[in-house]
Amino acid sequence: MMRAHAASGRLGLVLAAALAPMGCRRETHHEIEQGEFQVTSPMRSDTDLINEYVCQVRSIQHIEVRALERGYLQEVFVDEGKSVEQGQLMFQILPTLYQAELQMAEAEADFARIEYNNTKMLADSDVVSDNELALAKAKLDKADAERKLKRVHLSFTEIRAPFDGIMDRLHVRKGSLLEEGELLTTLSDNSEMWVYFNVTEAEYLEYKARAQGAEAPRVQLVLANDEVFEHHGRVETIEADFHNETGTIAFRATFPNPDGLLRHGQTGKVIMTNNLPDALLVPQKATFEVLDRKYVFVVEESGVVRSREITIAHEMPHLYVVASGLH
């Protein structure tokens, strides 16, 4: 405990009026009461400033799988929620029509090749002109192109996984008549996850000031059950524009997901920890506010208490980080 004497009643001590009767005359005597107040000292310390942000979890690849050709869905090879490997067959569209078209194109290509070979022998014997040989070659090239096109169309009846991932809900069932471009399912690559969270303009400027030439800060993810995800993430990119209505900008952190716990569409909280070296800390309960300005009572060496305005750099639970006013 330290005793502090106030210079006036506004500085925290109570001015008491003592009234004493003197015959028919009353006199009022004013005296300054002394009191004892608990005081503390600002503390300098390396401090971790923890900020929390609501976030959304997204797969690094999340695509729609659609039919490339029209036809009946002949077979579904993968169930909902199952893992697939790149190149694995997922859907089969009835290929009968496309197989027939391919056979026809192959037959026409074989006929064009025979015709070209015969024309070439005649041209070598100077029986036909070079123009006729060139025309036969053009017919052969056209037939080969048609055959390749029909083979591509036939391949479109097989829907294969473009990458390793997890298949989502089926939007069609076996036997459905599909239109070209119809949505079949979605596929997510959850090997790593992108976590998006919005940061205010002031926090963005502080982040950029600290991040100059430094390694990207590591962040933590708190899941919906308040459990902390076991793997740390890293802020890797910031969007280009601020949102006009909210005044925030989106950050993206990447988290490894080796056990597949995180799924596309989850929510949670991102915890970003920033180190403040040699921060000046004062208890929040030692401050008071006047017209949106923060003040503290300072005890001078003489024991007199005076108010002093301070500027708050950061707010922490029960503490303020002071930017100026007490240095």
pLDDT of residue 9: 31
* Residue 293, token pair as written in the block: 């300005």
- The residues, any chain, with a CB within 8 Å of residue 298's CB and separated by 6 or more, are 305, 306, 307, 308, 326
pLDDT level of residue 169 (50, 70, 90 thresholds): very high
* DSSP category for residue 13: P
Task: Indicate the helix (H) or strand (E) that contains 140.
Answer: helix 130-155
Taking only the tens place, the pLDDT of each residue in 36-85 is 667 777 888 777 778 889 999 999 999 999 998 888 999 999 999 999 99
HSE-CB at 80 with a 13 A cutoff on CA atoms is 8
Q: What is the mean pLDDT of residues 283-292?
A: 84
* Helix, strand or coil, per DSSP, at residue 299: strand
pLDDT level of residue 17 (50, 70, 90 thresholds): very low
pLDDT level of residue 215 (50, 70, 90 thresholds): low
The phi and psi torsions of 132 (rounded to 5 degrees) equal -65, -40
pLDDT of residue 197: 96
Q: What percent of the chain has pLDDT over 70?
A: 87
pLDDT of residue 18: 28
Q: Does residue 168 surpass a pLDDT of 50?
A: yes
Q: What percent of the chain has pLDDT over 90?
A: 37
- Top-confidence residue, 287 or 222: 222
Taking only the tens place, the pLDDT of each residue in 250-277 is 999 999 999 999 999 999 999 988 777 7
pLDDT of residue 28: 53
pLDDT of residue 39: 75
Buried b (16+ CB within 10 A) or exposed e, 65-104: bbbbbebebeebebeeeeebeeeeebbbbbbeebeebbee
pLDDT of residue 11: 31
* Helix, strand or coil, per DSSP, at residue 253: strand
* Helix, strand or coil, per DSSP, at residue 160: strand
Rounded to a whole number of angstroms, the CA Rg of the chain reads 39
Taking only the tens place, the pLDDT of each residue in 128-160 is 788 888 888 899 899 889 899 888 888 888 899
Long-range interactions of 9-18: CB distance < 8 A, separation 24+: 11/297, 11/305, 11/306, 11/307, 12/37, 12/297, 12/305
HSE-CB at 207 with a 13 A cutoff on CA atoms is 22
pLDDT of residue 57: 96
The phi and psi torsions of 66 (rounded to 5 degrees) equal -125, 155
Average pLDDT over the chain, rounded to an integer: 82
H-state helical runs in 29-129: 96-124
How far apart are alpha carbons 149 and 156 in whole angstroms?
11
Q: Please provide the DSSP assignment of 101-136 as one string.
A: HHHHHHHHHHHHHHHHHHHHHHHHTTSS-HHHHHHH
pLDDT of residue 185: 96
pLDDT level of residue 294 (50, 70, 90 thresholds): confident
* Whether the Cβ atoms of residue 112 and residue 105 lie closer than 8 Å to each other: no
Taking only the tens place, the pLDDT of each residue in 275-285 is 777 888 888 88
In which region does residue 67 sit, left (phi positive, over 0), alpha (psi from -120 to 50) or beta (all else)?
Answer: beta
pLDDT of residue 321: 82
Q: Please provide the DSSP assignment of 225-252 as one string.
A: TSPBPSS-EEEEEE-SS--TTT-EEEEE
* DSSP category for residue 76: E
- Top-confidence residue, 118 or 26: 118
pTM of the model: 0.68
Q: Please provide the DSSP assignment of 172-221 as one string.
A: S-TTPEEPTT-EEEEEEEEEEEEEEEEEEHHHHHHHHHHHTTSPPPEEEE
pLDDT of residue 327: 66
pLDDT level of residue 181 (50, 70, 90 thresholds): very high
CA 264 to chain CA centroid, Å, is 11
Q: What is the mean pLDDT of residues 224-232?
A: 94
Say which amino acid occupies 6: A
Q: Does residue 26 surpass a pLDDT of 70?
A: no
Q: Does residue 34 surpass a pLDDT of 70?
A: no
pLDDT of residue 253: 94
